[in-house]
């Protein structure tokens, strides 16, 4: 039995977390959940958006599944997501973007994986005001962080039979910072001669992803571009309700859906549980429980392919509860 921290999260988080728990129980997945709170729920229950008990739980278990957390825009407490990534040095954000059966999308055969550097770049949180009418944010790129995310991307490519890694950048403008990211990626690429390496400027990549996304295999990006192309990728395969993510470091990992708290549908039993469930399946892979992960993915795919018991974001009219029961029925 693996002990795993479960942070249900805010907004739709508790609903989709309950769905994952129900599917895991039905699949007899060997996971014992330890529930902990963060974000608005942390503030409401413990008076702290990131309570010490939550940090202790993740530190002890080394593996967590996290629902979406409310982040106030332009004010308020610092993003808990960013804080967690930095606290546990979860430098590798891994986001598979894969076409799913039965899901309405313009594209049918996308299978790409995004490796996003997770600890620095403009998200390092180094911002300050300069007088009343100006503000500066500092973009931090180091060789060490760039090399380790490149290493993670190439190691994954080698292990999973992927043929090509494409580094994403804007080094034509940011010659020093993005230039250093590219230089580090090239050094790592030289160690993997069997894997094709190329580079693409981020704005061109956005156009290419919309025109011919199937041409890409593994994308390697610094933090900000990686964040943006991840949502673009989610849109290519049917939306935010379908895309999982992992934040991985040397000593642990936090799995989460790419989407946010969806305040517009929270509490309505209308949220799509697929993204958090696919994230939970990645967690099982990470724990070495690949067979159970595969059974859960197959059950979800069967429900999506039939298209009867799916939530409104996928064009259906099922509730979260009904979709979850349908997935359990396929196990």
Q: Is 225 a catalytic residue?
A: no
Interaction of residue 81 with ligand NAI, rule CB under 6 A: yes
Residue with nearest beta carbon to ligand NAI: 260
CB count, 10 Å around CB of 32?
A: 10
| Least distance from ligand NAI to the Cβ atom of residue 71, Å | 3
Helix, strand, coil % over all residues of the chain, rounded to 5: 45, 20, 35
Look at residues 148, 155, 165 and name the one whose alpha carbon lies nearest to residue 112.
165
Q: Among the candidate windows 23-31, 64-72, 85-93, 185-193, which touches ligand NAI by CB under 6 A?
A: 64-72
CB 84 within 8 A of CB 249: no
Q: Is 123 a catalytic residue?
A: yes
Nearer to ligand NAI, 157 or 271 (CB): 271
| Least distance from ligand NAI to the Cβ atom of residue 93, Å | 11
Q: Could you give phi then psi for residue 118, rounded to 5 degrees?
A: -120, 0
CB 146 within 8 A of CB 91: no
Q: Check 10, 91, 170, 286 and give the catalytic one.
A: 170
CB 110 within 8 A of CB 99: yes
| Measured distance CA(256)–CA(329) in Å, rounded | 24
Q: Among the candidate windows 48-56, 220-228, 254-262, 301-309, which touches ligand NAI by CB under 6 A?
A: 254-262
Q: How far apart are the first and last CA of the chain?
A: 20
Interaction of residue 15 with ligand NAI, rule CB under 6 A: no
| Least distance from ligand NAI to the Cβ atom of residue 304, Å | 13
Helix runs in 92-176, H state only: 143-159
Nearer to ligand NAI, 84 or 185 (CB): 84
| Measured distance CA(234)–CA(237) in Å, rounded | 6
| Least distance from ligand NAI to the Cβ atom of residue 262, Å | 4
Look at residues 73, 71, 155, 81 and name the one whose alpha carbon lies nearest to residue 119.
81
Q: Among the candidate windows 116-124, 177-185, 210-218, 270-278, which touches ligand NAI by CB under 6 A?
A: 270-278
Q: Check 10, 121, 178, 227 and give the catalytic one.
A: 227
Q: Is 10 a catalytic residue?
A: no
Please state whether beta strands 164-169 and 196-201 pair in parallel, antiparallel, or not at all (unpaired): parallel
Dmax over Cα atoms in the chain, in whole Å? Answer: 61
Q: Check 91, 123, 216, 225 and give the catalytic one.
A: 123
Interaction of residue 323 with ligand NAI, rule CB under 6 A: no
Size of the site for ligand NAI (CB under 6 A): 21
Q: Which of 235, 260, 307, 316 binds ligand NAI (CB under 6 A)?
A: 260
Residues marked as catalytic: 123, 170, 203, 227
Q: Which residues bind ligand NAI (CB under 6 A)?
A: 12, 68-71, 81, 240-241, 256, 259-265, 271-272, 275, 311, 313
């Amino acid at each position: 039995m693996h002990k795993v921290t479960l942070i249900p999260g805010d907004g739709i988080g508790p609903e989709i977390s309950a769905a994952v728990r129900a599917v895991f129980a039905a699949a007899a997945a060997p996971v014992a959940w330890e529930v902990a709170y963060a974000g608005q729920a942390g503030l409401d229950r413990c008076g702290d958006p990131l309570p010490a008990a939550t940090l202790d739980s993740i530190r002890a278990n080394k593996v967590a599944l996290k629902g979406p957390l409310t982040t106030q825009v332009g004010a308020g407490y610092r993003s808990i997501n960013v804080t967690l990534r930095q606290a546990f040095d979860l430098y590798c954000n891994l986001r598979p973007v894969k076409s799913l059966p039965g899901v309405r999308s313009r594209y049918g055969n996308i299978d790409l994986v995004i490796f996003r550097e997770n600890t620095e770049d403009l998200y390092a949180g180094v911002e300050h005001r300069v007088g009343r009418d100006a503000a500066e944010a500092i973009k931090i790129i180091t060789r060490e962080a760039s090399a380790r995310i490149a290493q993670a991307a190439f190691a994954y490519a080698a292990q999973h039979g992927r043929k090509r890694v494409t580094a994403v950048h804007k080094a034509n403008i940011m010659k020093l910072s993005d230039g250093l990211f590219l230089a580090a990626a090239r050094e790592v690429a030289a160690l993997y001669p069997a894997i094709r390496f190329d580079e693409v400027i981020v704005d061109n990549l956005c156009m290419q992803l919309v025109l011919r996304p199937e041409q890409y295999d593994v994308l390697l990006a610094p933090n900000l571009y990686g964040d943006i192309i991840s949502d673009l990728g989610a849109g290519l395969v049917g939306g935010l309700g379908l895309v999982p993510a992992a934040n991985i470091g040397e000593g642990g990992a936090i799995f989460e859906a790419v989407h946010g708290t969806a305040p517009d549908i929270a509490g309505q039993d209308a949220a799509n549980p697929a993204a958090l469930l696919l994230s939970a399946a990645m967690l099982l892979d990470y724990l070495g429980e690949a067979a159970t992960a595969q059974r859960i993915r197959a059950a979800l795919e069967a429900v999506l392919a039939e298209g009867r018991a799916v939530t409104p974001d996928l064009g259906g009219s099922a509730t979260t509860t009904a979709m979850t029961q349908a997935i359990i029925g396929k196990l």
